[in-house]
Each structure stands twice: as C-alpha cells, then as structure tokens.
Amino acid sequence: MTNATTSTDSIERTVVIDAPRERVWRALSNAEEFGAWFGANLKGQTFAPGKRARGNLTFAGYEHVFFDVMVERMEPQDLLSYRWHPYNLDPAVDYEKEAPTLVTFTLKDAPGKGTVLTVLETGFDNIPPGRRLEAFRMNSAGWKSQMDKLVRHVTA
C-alpha cells in the first residue's frame, strides 16, 4: 500500500513494508546499503549528522551525476533527514548556489511486525523558477520508484 501527497513545495510518499523496523532502518541509515537500493556508489561512506556523503549514480546514462547529501538528523529507527539539490543533472549548472531541499524519512510500527515508512521532501518553492517544476515533477515520480526499490530490497 502506498499513499501520496503533494503540494507545490513538498512531496510525500508513505508505504507499509512487510519487514521489521530495524531492517528498514539499516537500509536507510547504512550509506553503502542505501546506495545499493537507491542507485548510488556510496562504498566506504557513512551517514552521520553534519557529514556529507557523495557518490556517482549507478543508473545507466546517469553515471556522471552525483548523489550528494548533507545528513541533518539521525534518530535510530525513527528518523533520517538530509539536504540535497534535487534533479541536479546539468553539469553546466552550479547547484550549490540554490537552496537545497530537505528529505526526511520517518519510520513507525505497522501491524504484524511491519514498518510504515514515509518520505517527505520539502523546499521546492525555493528552487529557481526555471527548473522548479521539472525538479518537482521528476522527484515526484522518482520517490515512487525509490520507495518501490527500497521495499524490494528489504523484503528480498
């Protein structure tokens, strides 16, 4: 079951996963494992508050694009958040001049030893108007795909 909520500034996706909360947490909080399901080479990296994690995407045709995040908060088995520049595909654009969005994953217990996982990305209204709608559109579809990949990863 997946639920979706959108506004002009935020994207929210919720999914119930048939896996224990600690398993879902490990897939989110371990940078290398996160990279494995997300599609980013994060080998040798860790997620920690105030720490940057960066690696090339592993999607065919997008290997030149970096997954680049600054971890904000980690509350074991409850919450992971990071800031990033969404849909940062154009090598000619200096995305560092833009305000990043905030991605927050929250975990809650679901009946039957499952996990309710919600991802909320906010801050799209701060992206320059020339690329705001495309970044929003691409990440809206992207979070659906990423949640599906995470579910497959933790239930395999």
In whole angstroms, give the CA distance from residue 34 to residue 84: 15
Query: Which CATH architecture is the domain 2-155 placed in?
Result: 2-Layer Sandwich (3.30)
CA-closest candidate to residue 1, choices 132, 154, 115, 127: 115
Q: What is the pLDDT of residue 91?
A: 85
Q: What is the pLDDT of residue 4?
A: 55
Contact residues for 112 (Cβ-Cβ < 8 A; gap 6+):
18
Q: What six digits make up the tokens of 64?
A: 């030149």
Q: What six digits make up the tokens of 75?
A: 């509350």
| 2 within 8 A of 133, measured Cβ to Cβ | no
pLDDT, tens only, 61-76: 999 999 999 999 999 9
Q: Which residues of 84-97 are buried (b: 16+ CB within 10 A; e: fewer)?
A: bbbbbeeeeeebee
Q: What six digits make up the tokens of 119?
A: 């991802």
Task: For the chain of 156 residues, list the mean pLDDT of each consecutive stretch of 10.
Answer: 66 97 98 98 98 96 94 98 94 91 98 96 95 94 96 97
Q: What is the pLDDT of residue 92?
A: 86
| Helical (H) or strand (E) element with 33 | helix 31-38
Q: What is the pLDDT of residue 16?
A: 97
Q: What is the pLDDT of residue 8?
A: 80
pTM of the model: 0.93
Q: Give the burial class of 7: count Cβ atoms within 10 A of its Cβ; 0-12 exposed, 13-18 middle, 19 or more buried.
A: exposed
The dihedral through the CA atoms of 45, 46, 48, 53 has a sign that is positive
In whole angstroms, give the CA distance from residue 36 to residue 43: 9
